[in-house]
Chains A and B, each alone.
Chain A
Amino acid sequence: MQRLFLPLFCVIALTGCGASEGGGDNGGDVETPTTPTTPTEPTTPTEPTTPTEPTTPTEPTTPTEPTTPTTPTEPSSPVDYTVDAALQAPVSLVAVAANQQIVMRWNDAPNAAVYTVYYSTEEITADTSLADLLIAFDNVEGTTYVSPEAYLTNGTPYYVTVVAKTSAESTKVSSFSPIKKVVPQDNGINVADLAQMRELNDTGTRYAVSSDTHLDACEGGDRGAKGQDCAFGRDVDTIASDDVDGVGGFSFSKISSDGSVLTADSEDWSCVLDHVSGLMWEVKEAGDSARGSTLSSGLHDADDAFTWYEPSLSGSGVTDGIQSNVNTPDTCFGYNDTDGFCNTSEFVARVNLTNLCGHSDWRLPSANEFISIINYGNNFARRSTFAVDTNFFPITDDTLVDSYWTASPFYDNSSRAWRVYLRDVRSSGQDLGKINGLSKGTSVGVMLVRTAHE
């Protein structure tokens, strides 16, 4: 594979290493960076020998710049970058340590063309000045950074962050992505293997549980928060936990019917882009307790229900499902009793014909993809609460549907597929946020997804 050559290249070239192609609709592997057209990386440290001792916590002055032992040439010095608050930063960053190396992956920030990777052996906070940081790589194309071999010192903590730029020439950069701390070590990890990793969405849970009550916050009680969900993850990251783009650690954008990115307060949107997972979701129209060929309000009626049916699976070994509900076939917009049935594959085809949000690659989500948008922190799963952020995924008490199909067949590949509960109208909240197997001939909701960013 191409990606395996990357570290070799870096050793030879000594500069300009580590840029990689990751994001984009092609979802390509890491590519060997061609010789950089502009020599933009004067700060790339070439000798990892000197920076070995920043762990001695006594020198606040020296450790900031020791990794630039090469003659500091300043063509268009990145030190001149200034932060432009209007630029959107990556909201998700995951960094994994390996032997004298790290691999970093972040999300595609809207309007970003390239990214600059910063690091320091000193702790980075949202207020840290760019001038105090080192640049690991300037103008990364794509959303993955793989450091060159022997780039970092094992056992030394490094802080890393990424900023977005609208062009390689621009001297304006976004604020910091979430900041991660990594400690390189010889752990057998091949950095190239993780070039396509993605941070998992957090659960949305921001309270702790004690033995007798659910607390209002992530502290107090007889158990405190130590070790509980609320003490970890995106929702305790001051940068990732901005509630404007979704509660807790969620980070959504509303998308218009033609595919443009809208502001969070827009009242007319058709899809939602999840910046953490890279998935784009169909948004249902709020339910009104009415569905079927004459009552449905349209193709995306939240009340509409479908059997699980995928005729292309016929002969594959996976059960293809049930074409039409035996007892109640007329449960969706577009139903007729000859060639318009209410099943998952026909719904997918109908939506793709409309080019929803500018795309025609809509599909059923897998079980884990569907779980990714569930907000498990939505109160504590009481009756009439919803397991998603309703500011982005409007569901009402009037919606007839409570659970939704996934594409994932059940283990025994009998007649069941996995389904996910986003609300619970029947059993006092016991099912909210659950997933389990359901017979494919049952009619439940469908919420489509597409891969916006690999």
Chain B
Amino acid sequence: MNKLSLVVLLTSIFVSSAYAGCSTSTIEATTPTTRFTIDEEGGVVTDHSTGLMWKRCVEGFSGTDCRTGSAQQSTFEGAIEHIDSLNNSAGFSGFTDWRLPNIKELRSIVEERCTRPSLNEEVFPLKNTEAADDQNSINNMVVFSSTPTSYYDSGDTFVWTVSFAEGVLDRSSVGEYNFVRYFRLVRDAR
């Protein structure tokens, strides 16, 4: 078993480093920097194409380059409680109407020409070049949306997630297996 785990681990590290980066010369950007107003001091960005405002850092990180702190992973319930508590106290960047993005909103910030992470890091910086211990986990970040789903007839409880390794949609359990995932904040820029 240990050998197997080691092989799996090595393989995943190899795969992540082998493919990390952006095909900037061939594939058109889906989230060009010019699509966003970046408020470095406030830690937020506004998307000109959707009218949504995002917190730049994934939850847990802070600072203009999102390199302070450590990424917070949480159950779905924990993420919702965290945001509720934030909105009921100081808020973030002066706003108290933050929420989890739905699956379409979350997919709208995927940079399709980049991988591990599939983000435009000028807009959404990620602590991805240091802290080798968690680099793999962060670059392959699976992020909660607020949109429930299931499969089979069991009615097992899941919500949709986006894997920012490539931008693929998947599900994470909020029931029996109660997965722990990263999460981001969004609000309407009203």
Interface residue ranges of B116-163 to A (CB < 8 Å): 118, 145-153, 155, 157-160
Whether A381 contacts B149 by the Cβ 8 Å rule is: yes
1/0 per position for B29-67, CB-CB distance to A under 8 A? 010000001010010001111111000000000000000
Residues in chain A near residue B188, CB distance under 8 A? 94
Interface string of A402-441 (1 = CB under 8 A from B): 0000001111110000100000000011101111110000
A209-247 interface code vs B (CB 8 A; 1 in, 0 out): 111111000000001001111001100000000000000
Residue A13 at the chain B interface, CB threshold 8 Å: no
Q: How large is the interface on A (under 10, 10 to 19, 20 to 34, 35 or more residues)?
A: 35 or more
For A430, the closest partner residue in chain B by CB is B151
Shortest beta-carbon distance, A423 to chain B, in Å? 13
- Residues on B with C-beta less than 8 A from A207 are 148
Q: Roughly how many angstroms separate A187 CA and B37 CA in the complex, as a whole number?
A: 9
Number of B interface residues in the complex (CB < 8 A): 62
Contact B190 A180, beta carbon cutoff 8 Å: yes
CB proximity to B under 8 Å, residues A178-213: 180-183, 185, 187-190, 193-194, 196-203, 205, 207-213
Contacts of B51 in A (CB 8 A): 94-96, 105, 194, 197, 199
Report the Cα distance A223→B102, complex, angstroms: 17
Bound Cα distance A210, B39 (Å) = 36
Whether B159 and A209, one on each chain, are in contact in the complex, defined by CB atoms closer than 8 angstroms, is yes
Cβ of A392 under 8 Å from chain B: no
A24 → B minimal CB distance (Å): 18
Tell me if A317 is interfacial: C-beta within 8 Å of chain B.
Answer: yes
- Given the known interface contacts A199-B50, A227-B99, the answer about A381 and B175 at a Cβ–Cβ threshold of 8 Å is no
Max count, chain B CB within 10 A of own CB: residue among A182, A376, A428: A376
Q: Which residues of B contact A359 (CB under 8 A)?
A: none
When C-beta atoms are compared, the residue in chain A nearest to B98 turns out to be: A227
9-residue interface stretch from A165-173, A284-292, A364-372, A393-401: A364-372
Partner of B80 from the list A183, A223, A418 (CB cut-off 8 Å) is A223
Residue of B nearest to A212 (CB): B175
Q: Are B115 and A380 in contact (CB under 8 A)?
A: no
- Chain A residue numbers with a CB within 8 Å of B168 are 434-437
A3 located at the interface, meaning its Cβ lies under 8 Å from any Cβ of chain B in the complex: no
**Residues of A contacting B19 in the complex (Cβ-Cβ under 8 angstroms):** 411-412
Tell whether, in the assembled complex, residue B80 and residue A376 are in contact, meaning their CB atoms are under 8 Å apart.
no
Question: How long is the Cα–Cα vector from A276 to B108 in the complex, in angstroms?
Answer: 15
Q: Check A97 for interface membership: any CB of B closer than 8 A.
A: yes
Contact between B148 and A205 (Cβ–Cβ < 8 Å)?
A: yes
Are A411 and B108 in contact, CB atoms less than 8 angstroms apart? no
Since A318-B27, A413-B26 are in contact, a sample of 12 more A-B pairs with Cβ atoms closer than 8 Å, ordered by chain A residue number, is A96-B51, A183-B190, A199-B51, A209-B157, A227-B99, A232-B146, A374-B104, A382-B151, A411-B118, A413-B27, A418-B112, A436-B168
Shortest 7 CB-CB contacts between residues of A and residues of B: A317-B26, A209-B148, A380-B150, A227-B80, A429-B151, A229-B146, A229-B147
Could you list some 18 contacts between A and B, CB below 8 A? A94-B50, A97-B189, A187-B189, A194-B51, A197-B49, A208-B148, A214-B157, A223-B80, A233-B102, A382-B152, A382-B153, A383-B152, A408-B112, A409-B26, A411-B19, A411-B112, A430-B152, A436-B168
